[in-house]
Amino acid sequence: MSVEQVDDVLLLERSDGFAVVTLHRPAARNALSAALRRALHVTLSTLDGDPEVRAVVITGSDPAFCAGLDLRELATAPDSLGAGFSDASDFRRPIPQMGTPVIGAINGVAVTGGFELALACDFLIASEHARFADTHARIGIMPGWGLTVELPRAVGLRRAVELSTTGNFLDAATAYDWGLVNHVVPHDELLPQARSLAADIAGNDPAGVRHLLATYRSGARVGLDEAIEVEQRASRDWLAQRDTSDFEERRRAVTERGRIQTTASDDDDPVTD
């Protein structure tokens, strides 16, 4: 097992047959800066092309999984949203199109863009500390990474609409009850369990796994491209007419609301970016 740091924003661990990718901006609750988005895309694309990597785990450095897009960066530089991507389609999803199974190990809050990143994984295992929230409407931005498509497919349309229109947090136990996550485990057991599942996948015929996964995706995503195009257009139109100068004030309001809705300690700031 080896661990390397990628562009100061990612940790990459390679084990026998699988890899663990850790978002590593803990002071910013792993908010997705342009640098982190680029590093994640390049790293996952590289792993997908490596025949020795048969499964990938995505997690975050504690205490958060991912607080979403870096709104401080976006407020001052709206054009940074697609920065570093030569092809606009590269930024169409939070992770690139992959044939390798991706497990999301949700160790803490997964908020807005971080929620979309979790939804882009093939399945999820959650720490008891995990919480999910879609705060697009509270901040005043639109989803653009497939949330309005993937969330209702995970939990049902009415529950998805409730989450998006209220901006309320969903705890790990409820996420399990709603079918969003496959397992909820004690926090210290999250990565061992995720690694065990990745090793189970890696122990199967790799071509068979990829073909099976592609078949599942094809069957589940009939009409997906069209639905995501609708969301992408709505997101672009909204951002084009939106004054971003109040993002910081709205971010602070979301942070305070998150504190009220959690039983975590005062030091556990669920949304910082």
Q: How many residues does the chain have?
A: 273
Distance CA 222, CA 86 (A): 28
Please state the domain extents for the chain: 2-187+218-260
pLDDT of residue 78: 60
pLDDT in 10s for each residue of the chain, 273 residues = 678 888 899 999 999 999 999 999 999 999 999 999 999 999 999 999 999 999 999 999 999 999 998 888 877 766 655 554 445 555 668 999 999 999 999 999 999 999 999 999 999 999 999 999 999 999 888 898 999 999 999 999 999 999 999 999 999 999 999 999 999 999 999 999 999 999 999 999 999 899 889 888 877 766 767 777 777 777 888 878 877 778 778 888 888 888 887 754 444 444 444
pLDDT of residue 271: 46
pLDDT of residue 77: 65
Distance CA 64, CA 130 (A): 8
* End-to-end alpha carbon distance in the chain: 32
**Fold entry, domain 2-187+218-260:** 2-enoyl-CoA Hydratase; Chain A, domain 1 (3.90.226)
